[in-house]
């Protein structure tokens, strides 16, 4: 996380991420995310290997 906040749900687990936080998870898990604020959220997100 470069700046802002990000809500991340992995299966039934909710995680609030803030500036300076990092995360990793298997894309096979159910996941979704949202910006919980009106401010911009900046994230560097890398997917390896590509799954798209």
Q: Which residues contact 52 (CB under 8 A, 6 or more apart)?
A: none
CB 19 within 8 A of CB 3: yes
Q: How far apart are CA 48 and CA 5, in angstroms?
A: 23
User: What local confidence, expressed as pLDDT, does residue 52 receive?
Assistant: 62
Look up tokens 């300076």; give the residue: 20
CB 37 within 8 A of CB 5: yes
Q: How confident is the model at residue 50 (pLDDT cuts 50, 70, 90)?
A: confident
Residues 17-45 pLDDT 10s = 999 999 999 888 999 999 999 999 999 99
For residue 51, pLDDT over 80 is answered with: no
pTM of the predicted protein model = 0.83
Q: How far apart are CA 8 and CA 31, in angstroms?
A: 7
């Amino acid at each position: 996380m470069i700046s802002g906040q990000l809500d991340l749900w992995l299966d039934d687990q909710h995680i609030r991420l803030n500036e300076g936080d990092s995360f990793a998870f298997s894309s096979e898990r159910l996941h979704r995310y949202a910006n919980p604020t009106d401010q911009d959220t900046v994230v560097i997100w890398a997917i390896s290997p590509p799954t798209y």
